Each structure stands twice: as C-alpha cells, then as structure tokens.
C-alpha cells in the first residue's frame, strides 16, 4: 500500500493507511502498546496489541498498516500536530532494526553536553529540536537568495581554492595543489567585487574557511557565508539600505515559515525599529564609555563586551536588537576599503550587530583603478596575487559595495543557541572534523 505521510493522516480518518518511520517513543502497557511514530513530517500515535508491537525498540524503522481513528476528546494530545487522531495498528513490519541507543532521543530536549552531542552527530539529527535548527537555517538561506533575486542579483558559485592570500595569511589554510601551494578562501570578497564590474549585482552562498586557532563558542573553521555585492551606488548608505532590506526579508520568511521551530526554542525574531540605528565606531565607543566608564575610545575595533554593550544601548534607546556600526580605521582594514572623503582616517565599512554580536561586515569598496593599485602596493601586496581583481577595475567600474552575513550566526542568535557549533551540521574547529581529532 502506498505510504501515507504522518501529517496527512489527519485527512485519512476512517481509512486504512500505511505509515513508515522511526519508533520515536514506546509506552508498553503489556496488552496494549503505544508508539509515537516519526517521519519527516512529524509524529503520530500508533496503538496496537502487545503481540504486534511490544518487541519494538526506539529508532527501529517500521511500516504500520492501520486504521486512522479520531481520538476521544479527553485523549487528544495538544502537543502533537496529529494529536486528534491515532492509528490502530493492523500489521507491522520492521524495515530496519535499531541497536540500543547511546543517548536518549525521547526527551523534549537532548540533555547532553556539546561534545557528547557532536560525538553522536548523526544520531542527534533525529531529534525534533535538532532538526528544527537546520530547517530554520535552510529557510534563512533560501530567504537570503529570494531577497537577492527579487532585487535582480545574479547567483554565482564562489571558488574555495585560491592562489594567494591578499588579505593576510595568518589564518588561512594551505592546500597542497599538485606541486604548488594554494589556499582556502576566507571570503569571496574579491570575486564578488570583480563580478559587479560585469553583472552589476551578484550574490553567493558559499563555504568560507578560517584557520583561527580559537575554541570560542562563536568560531568555526568552516562556515556558510551569504555574500552580496552591487554597484552604481549613489551613496555608501545604499549598502546599509540593501542589507537592512535583506535582513528584514529573512526575518519575515523565518517568522512565516518557522513558527513551529521558533516555538520549540521559545525564540522570537529580533526586535526591529523603523530603521536600524547606525553609529560610527567612535560614537559607539563614546556611548560605551558614558554607560560603563570603560574607556575603549582609542581602540580600533569593538571587543565582545563592547558589542554586547552597544546592542544593549540600541535595544534600550532605539527599540532595536540590530545596530550598524560604521567608520572603522582605514589602515586596519583591507586594501579595497573606501576611505570616508570627510576624514580618510576612517572608512566606509560597516558591521551589523544583533543581540550582542557581529552578524555581518560590509561597506563601500574602492572602484578607482589607480587608487586600488596604489593601495595594493601600500598594503604590501603582490600585483599578480590580485591580477583578476585589478583587471576588473581597469576598464570602467562604477561605485560598489556589499556585505556578508554568517548563516550559522544568524541561526544561532535567532534561536538563542549557546554555541555556534550547534548551528552547523558538521562543525569543524581546531579539535574536531566530525570526530575529535586527537582520536585519529
């Protein structure tokens, strides 16, 4: 008999159906056994005789042929989408038996520490709350693409292997490339910028690589980046407007499509005011100084505690979980940043912070060939290492800018996860690539 998906059993009352899935939980009352059967669409209760069902174990894969019945009102389960029905099992087939589980998947929350979770990564994916993380992440990424396509951006596939590291090589992974050396891309920045000189508007969902010898809760060595870049800017604020549009678009889609996932984490979409507030770095530092007495006014960047403080300010004073911080120090940024004509010490780069952490960086880039070439030399780079980049800007190139958002960070901070590793299906860090590396 053709398979009926769990969520469709609601429309099959009085009919005999075959459902297939995993034994999520079992309650055995000896003569009568209750199974919560799980498939990709949810859970449904199976009820059957001990003879038929008592041998089953959690995570056995089974097919159940049975009659869909309405539950008596007092037995309706409001926590289950299919809670108004149950299936009276007539026939059961084990399609694939499970071994005994090393972790308990039957609880509402997986009560394990992060290393245990990751040691059991494959199994953890079966837990509805873990699945919710990655369903939401898929919506974030899909929404990003939709937002860009709606604004006439062309999707491109950013390469991972690069031949040089023009942005500095300390935190880059080296690749043995036949008899040469190559690297893994830290960002598709140069590629997306050069592409604007032909396609005007481009975006990319890509893997980026950072060899940061860091084990913080916020860093991965491989992560998914949502990159956008466009030109014919009228003003550098076009970049802010585009980014704000994209972030709002993503939140709207998540709100519409992920109610169930948000509810599982008791999570809410970040608070937004009519317009995301924006501060220059020095303004932000002044505010932090006034609020906390901590003097960071000469620092070149915001420290993590500064990011938290300025986000607290934005929420209290502007009613916004999100805030742009702009005008970082030109000399501390890559060669392509656009100095503010009003004060070239600072540049038209901008970070987007949300809920205490940086979500994105972006800004306007240099588009004048001679200035770019001068900076390449001033920043101590080799011309041949940025050959394709220089070529793009030599032959007519409008004013451009863009931004990149981190998919894992967005997921993490929407859902309130404690560690970014939870928001990556296969998190890589100094100590782990699927398995703990010291175990090799």
> Catalytic amino acids?
210, 212, 218-219, 358, 361, 409
Q: Decide: is 384 part of the binding site for a copy of itself (CB under 8 A).
A: yes
The 10 Å Cβ neighbour count of residue 70 is: 13
Q: Taking the C-alpha atoms of 270, 271, 274 and 275 in order, what is their torsion angle to the nearest 10 degrees?
A: -50
Give the separation between CA 304 and CA 324, rounded to whole angstroms: 15
Chain-centroid distance of CA 33 in Å reads 40
Q: CB-wise, 34 or 199, nearer to a copy of itself? A: 199
Q: What is the number of residues in the chain? A: 440
Q: Please report how close the Cβ of residue 373 comes to a copy of itself at its closest, in angstroms.
A: 11
Which span (71-79, 239-247, 274-282, 394-402) binds a copy of itself, by CB under 8 A? 394-402
Residue 45, classed as helix, strand or coil, is: strand
Helix (H) or strand (E) holding 391: helix 387-394
Quick one: 41 or 419, whose CB is closer to a copy of itself?
Answer: 41
Judged by CB under 8 A, the residue of 45, 46, 60, 310 near a copy of itself is 60
The residue from 99, 113, 274, 342 that contacts a copy of itself (CB under 8 A) is 99
147 binds a copy of itself (CB under 8 A): no
- Find all residues with CB under 8 Å of 371, minimum gap 6, and list them: none
- Binding residues for a copy of itself, rule CB under 8 A, total 91
Q: Which is nearer to a copy of itself, 352 or 366 (CB)?
A: 366
| Half-sphere exposure (Cβ direction) of 176: Cα atoms closer than 13 Å | 2
Closer residue to a copy of itself, CB minimum distance, 351 or 408: 408
* Dihedrals phi, psi of 300, to nearest 5 degrees: -85, -10
Q: Is 101 in the site for a copy of itself (CB under 8 A)?
A: yes
Minimum CB distance to a copy of itself smaller for 303 or for 425: 425
Site for a copy of itself in 248-287 (CB under 8 A): none
Interacting residue with a copy of itself among 335, 346, 389, 403 (CB under 8 A)? 389
Query: Minimum CB separation from a copy of itself for residue 291, in Å?
Result: 38
Contact yes or no for 129/109 (Cβ under 8 A): yes
Q: Which residues contact 113 (CB under 8 A, 6 or more apart)?
A: none
Q: Which of 11, 55, 217, 391 binds a copy of itself (CB under 8 A)?
A: 391
CA 14 to chain centre: 42
Distance, C-alpha 261 to centroid of its chain: 14
Residue 95 binds to a copy of itself (criterion: CB under 8 A): yes
Give every strand in the sheet of 435-436, ordered side by side: 428-429, 432-433, 435-436
In the set 187, 320, 330, 399, which binds a copy of itself (CB under 8 A)? 399
Give the pair of three-digit tokens for residue 347. Answer: 């540049």
Choosing from 160, 269, 271, 373, the residue that interacts with a copy of itself (CB under 8 A) is 160
Site for a copy of itself in 336-375 (CB under 8 A): 367-369
* The one among 12, 71, 135, 280 contacting a copy of itself by CB under 8 A: 135
């Amino acid at each position: 008999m053709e398979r009926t998906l769990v969520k469709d059993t609601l429309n099959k009352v009085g009919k005999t159906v075959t459902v297939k899935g995993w034994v999520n939980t079992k309650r055995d009352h000896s003569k009568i056994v209750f199974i919560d059967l799980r498939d990709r669409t949810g859970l449904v209760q199976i009820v059957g005789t001990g003879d038929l069902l008592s041998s089953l174990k959690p995570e056995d894969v089974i097919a159940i042929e049975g009659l869909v019945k309405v539950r008596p009102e007092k037995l309706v389960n409001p926590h289950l989408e299919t809670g108004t029905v149950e299936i009276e099992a007539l026939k059961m087939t084990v399609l694939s038996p499970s071994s005994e589980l090393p972790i308990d998947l039957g609880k509402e929350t997986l009560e394990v520490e992060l290393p245990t979770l990751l040691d059991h990564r494959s199994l953890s994916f079966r837990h509805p709350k873990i699945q919710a993380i990655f369903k939401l992440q898929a919506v974030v990424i899909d929404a990003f693409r939709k937002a860009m396509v709606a604004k006439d951006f062309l999707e491109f596939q950013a390469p991972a292997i690069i031949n040089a590291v023009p942005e500095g090589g300390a935190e880059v992974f080296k690749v043995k490339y036949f008899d040469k050396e190559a690297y893994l891309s830290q960002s598709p920045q140069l590629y997306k910028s050069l592409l604007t000189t032909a396609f005007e508007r481009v975006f990319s969902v890509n893997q980026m690589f950072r060899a940061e010898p860091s084990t913080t809760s916020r860093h991965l060595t491989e992560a998914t980046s949502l990159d956008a870049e466009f030109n014919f800017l009228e003003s550098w604020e076009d970049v802010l407007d585009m980014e704000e549009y994209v972030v709002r678009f993503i939140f709207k889609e998540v709100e519409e499509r992920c109610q169930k996932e948000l509810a599982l984490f008791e999570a809410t979409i970040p608070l937004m005011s009519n317009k995301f507030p924006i501060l220059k770095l020095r303004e932000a530092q002044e505010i932090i100084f006034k609020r906390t007495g901590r003097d960071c006014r000469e620092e070149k960047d915001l420290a993590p505690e500064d990011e938290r403080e300025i986000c607290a300010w934005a929420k209290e004073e502007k009613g916004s979980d999100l805030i742009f911080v702009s005008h970082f120090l030109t000399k501390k940024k890559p060669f392509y940043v656009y100095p503010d004509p009003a004060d070239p010490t600072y540049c038209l780069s901008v970070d987007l912070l949300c809920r205490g952490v940086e979500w994105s960086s972006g800004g306007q880039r240099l588009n004048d060939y001679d200035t770019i070439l001068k900076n390449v030399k001033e920043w101590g780079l080799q011309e041949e290492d940025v050959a394709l980049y220089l070529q793009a800007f030599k032959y007519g190139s409008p004013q451009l800018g863009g931004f990149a958002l981190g998919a894992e960070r967005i997921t993490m901070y929407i859902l309130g996860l404690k560690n970014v590793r939870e928001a990556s299906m296969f998190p890589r860090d100094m100590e782990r690539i699927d398995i703990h590396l010291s175990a090799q």
